[in-house]
Chain A
């Protein structure tokens, strides 16, 4: 099913696994060169600048070419029918297959762009087809939702399997959850009342399987897709129990009922969930040395804090900021000092210098782009805000 040369994919995986060791200096450059020669990769995967450039240019070419074809057929009825979108989408897809198979493009920008354009056009064809079948605000609009979610799921799953595209994997996961949620919500009154729990359960199951059952050799080419699905499922697992999300969604779905505005049921469950789950993620991440869990947890802690703050006003905003600032600053400073020498398998030292290929200093670019707006202009009010341009600017480029 995979369109790519499997040997090259496996070789690429070998090289990628060894790259951190090369960066940290455990593996000598000669050794890595030997490995590269023994495990060759023939893909065309240029650096990030070329990739972005090719992505934009492919988009321009596709859009203008589509315009040209449509313009030539402007008078015919063909372009009003969904067939036209299917035709354009399939055309892009054939070009994509050609680019990948004949030219060996792999994450080159051109294939990324064609993936999304062809998928988008085919989806647009289906949506127009659906719109013709089920007019808007019809009693069938729920059926339309099933169909849309189902088609997105099938399409993105196909692209995930064939092109091992990680964003498509996320799309596939989200559309599946959405499909199940719509189905459950409409099944019965019980389903409508327990919607958050279904999403929690589903995300939990998917996370569990993506964590434990994915070491099989058949899935070796999909490891990056799987890690992204893990992150997404962790986020949906948390968000579907987040108090703010539940309330907003509940108000959206049920609105003002006869017994007054929508109230979140079981606050005994949802508040602890909102506050505790991010800490559980972080703790489990530290305990199991799982970077995905750790980072997701840290970000979700911030979301939990914002959620709490938007319901309970314990302190005025400046007091909160100062307090959290002091705690974060003090805590991270203390941890940095504490971990100067590695302890319990953790360290503050950078194990591998992360550099972007292409030979420029990224940090100095970021500084240059942010400072243009941030520099106090001499005659302005000094309270411009607390923006940080970033530092560490004395590294090489």
Chain B
């Protein structure tokens, strides 16, 4: 800490006497925060210990037996949830501040070990038989419930991932067998549906003021999944007219989300939207230019890339200014 700087600023009348006193006190009693070092060590310890225990159990599975391991995992999970229920704050539609970072991790550990427990049961004893849809649906429902009940964004992300797995599992075997594994279109439709569903969920969270802060996570997943589905739909059907239908979807969705991002002053979403729209536009222009297969087309491609990238730069700078001014 540069105490001379504070004195100078005080002489210039920029900071108050009180601030200077605080600074001098701090200078004379320096305090070093070991927050990040200790936190990192803590996580490292947990990771090493769990990996080591995992290998230990794996090597000795014959002597330990599956029931014991299941019991052990269940005990961890129950213990974690017990801790969380004991320390939790009551449910609220608004954001509930977590009691501490330990609480967050315990909840996460509880959820992960619960998933391991269910996965183990399915793997070893096939409790859901071959109803894989069922095997993914139940953890998903539990995860969504926990995410809302305990207000945890990490668990929400896990729940959304499980939703995607469930939808993928439900759709893909049927579609793939029907098409002798050649066509992935059903998966693309599912992806688009999932993405739009998540975007709607994000919209509803804000509109009905029910866990408003979940919107970011919903929108982050929804935006990426929808755009990727649209683009892969276009790449898949680019030789048909249907391909253009996919392509038109990109700017339309982009425009809707663009207005929402401006409203929420989220530069991250703006950047993602522009990026996807740019990819769509560029593939369209370049594939159209390359069709004529001449050297002038190649030069035109290069010129297009330079021009569009320069335009993109100015757009980025001006949008950044616009968001700041809002």
B7 at the interface (CB under 8 A from A): no
Contact partners of A330 in chain B: CB under 8 A:
45
Residue contact B316 to A50, C-beta cutoff 8 Å:
yes
Contact partners of A35 in chain B: CB under 8 A:
9, 14-15
A256 at the interface (CB under 8 A from B): no
Contact partners of B85 in chain A: CB under 8 A:
none
B248 at the interface (CB under 8 A from A): no
Residue contact B266 to A375, C-beta cutoff 8 Å:
no
Instruction: Give the interface size class of chain A.
Output: 35 or more
A377 at the interface (CB under 8 A from B): yes
Contact partners of A380 in chain B: CB under 8 A:
119, 123
Complex-state Cα separation, A230 to B190, whole angstroms: 53
- Of the candidates A53, A348, A368, A379, the one whose C-beta lies within 8 Å of that of B217 is A368
Residue contact B35 to A26, C-beta cutoff 8 Å:
no
Residue contact A332 to B42, C-beta cutoff 8 Å:
yes
B262 CB, min distance to chain A CBs, angstroms: 13
- Of the candidates A57, A325, A345, the one whose C-beta lies within 8 Å of that of B30 is A345
A295 at the interface (CB under 8 A from B): yes
A208 at the interface (CB under 8 A from B): no
B48 at the interface (CB under 8 A from A): yes
Convert B45-81 into 0s and 1s, putting 1 for each residue whose CB lies closer than 8 angstroms to a CB of A.
Answer: 1111111111110110000000000000100000000
Contact partners of B303 in chain A: CB under 8 A:
68
From B140, which residue of chain A is reached at the shortest CB distance?
A378
B83 at the interface (CB under 8 A from A): no
Give the one of A38, A335, A364 with max B CB within 10 A. Answer: A364
- Of the candidates A18, A26, A65, A392, the one whose C-beta lies within 8 Å of that of B101 is A392
Question: Which of A176-184, A186-194, A315-323 contacts the other chain?
Answer: A315-323
Residue contact B123 to A397, C-beta cutoff 8 Å:
no
Residue contact A376 to B119, C-beta cutoff 8 Å:
yes
Give the one of A31, A71, A295, A321 with max B CB within 10 A. Answer: A321
Q: Given contacts A347-B33, A394-B97, A394-B98, are A364 and B312 in contact (CB under 8 A)?
A: no
A283 CB, min distance to chain B CBs, angstroms: 14
From A327, which residue of chain B is reached at the shortest CB distance?
B45
A389 at the interface (CB under 8 A from B): yes
- Of the candidates B54, B101, B267, the one whose C-beta lies within 8 Å of that of A391 is B101
Residue contact A379 to B123, C-beta cutoff 8 Å:
yes
Contact partners of B267 in chain A: CB under 8 A:
47, 49-50, 358-359
Residue contact B153 to A367, C-beta cutoff 8 Å:
yes
Residue contact B45 to A326, C-beta cutoff 8 Å:
yes
Complex-state Cα separation, A105 to B32, whole angstroms: 34
List A residues 321-362 near B (Cβ within 8 Å): 321-333, 335-336, 339, 342, 345-351, 358-361
Complex-state Cα separation, A65 to B306, whole angstroms: 7
What secondary structure prevails in chain A residues at the interface with B? helix
Contact partners of B41 in chain A: CB under 8 A:
298, 328, 331-332
Convert B172-200 into 0s and 1s, putting 1 for each residue whose CB lies closer than 8 angstroms to a CB of A.
Answer: 00000000000000000000000000000
Complex-state Cα separation, A377 to B128, whole angstroms: 14
Contact partners of A319 in chain B: CB under 8 A:
52, 56
Q: Given contacts A35-B9, A383-B54, A388-B43, are A318 and B157 in contact (CB under 8 A)?
A: no
Q: Given contacts A67-B302, A321-B52, A368-B221, are A54 and B313 in contact (CB under 8 A)?
A: yes
Contact partners of B108 in chain A: CB under 8 A:
389, 391, 393
Contact partners of B298 in chain A: CB under 8 A:
71
- Of the candidates A14, A28, A49, the one whose C-beta lies within 8 Å of that of B19 is A28
Contact partners of B149 in chain A: CB under 8 A:
none
Contact partners of B115 in chain A: CB under 8 A:
375-376, 378
Residue contact B139 to A392, C-beta cutoff 8 Å:
no
Give the one of A28, A58, A342, A393 with max B CB within 10 A. Answer: A393
B226 CB, min distance to chain A CBs, angstroms: 15
Question: Which of B158-166, B201-209, B237-245 contacts the other chain?
Answer: B158-166
Chain B interface (Cβ within 8 Å of chain A)?
1-2, 5, 9, 12, 14-16, 19, 22-23, 26, 29-35, 37-38, 41-56, 58-59, 73, 97-98, 101, 104-105, 107-108, 112, 115-116, 118-120, 122-123, 132, 135-136, 139, 151-154, 157-158, 161-162, 165, 213, 216-217, 220-221, 265-268, 271, 298-299, 302-303, 305-306, 309-310, 312-313, 316-317, 320
- The contact sample of 11 A-B pairs, CB cut-off 8 A, is A46-B317, A65-B306, A321-B48, A328-B48, A339-B38, A376-B112, A379-B123, A381-B123, A382-B116, A388-B43, A394-B97
Chain A interface (Cβ within 8 Å of chain B)?
14, 17-18, 21, 26-28, 31, 34-35, 38, 46-47, 49-50, 53-54, 57-58, 60-61, 64-65, 67-68, 71, 110, 289, 291, 294-295, 298, 317-333, 335-336, 339, 342, 345-351, 358-361, 364-365, 367-368, 371-372, 375-383, 385-394, 396-397
Other A-B contacts than A53-B316, A289-B32, 6 sampled, CB-CB below 8 A, are A31-B14, A58-B313, A322-B52, A332-B42, A391-B154, A394-B97
